[in-house]
């Protein structure tokens, strides 16, 4: 489970960095795309805290 959390977190952070780079180059990011990535980040954060405090 921790490996899966790490992979999801790194994937979502990579996508967010890609969004930031694309915005600086002039591409408009849709709010729905940003919302999906933020929801993934929040769920990974919640799962991480759950794994941390479960033991």
Q: What is the pLDDT of residue 42?
A: 84
Q: Would you call 28 helix, strand, or coil by DSSP? A: coil
Q: Which long-range contacts (C-beta less than 8 Å, at least 24 apart) are formed by 12-15?
A: 12/37, 12/40, 12/41, 12/44, 13/41
Q: What is the pLDDT of residue 54?
A: 78
pLDDT band at 37; cut points 50, 70, 90: confident
* pLDDT tens per residue, range 4-18: 777 877 887 888 888
Mean pLDDT of 28-43: 84
Cα–Cα distance, 47 to 42 (Å, whole number): 9
pLDDT mean across residues, the chain: 82
């Amino acid at each position: 489970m921790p490996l899966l959390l790490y992979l999801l977190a790194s994937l979502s952070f990579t996508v967010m960095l890609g969004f930031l780079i694309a915005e600086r180059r002039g591409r408009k990011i849709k709010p729905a795309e940003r919302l999906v990535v933020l929801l993934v980040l929040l769920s990974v954060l919640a799962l991480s805290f759950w794994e941390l405090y479960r033991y």
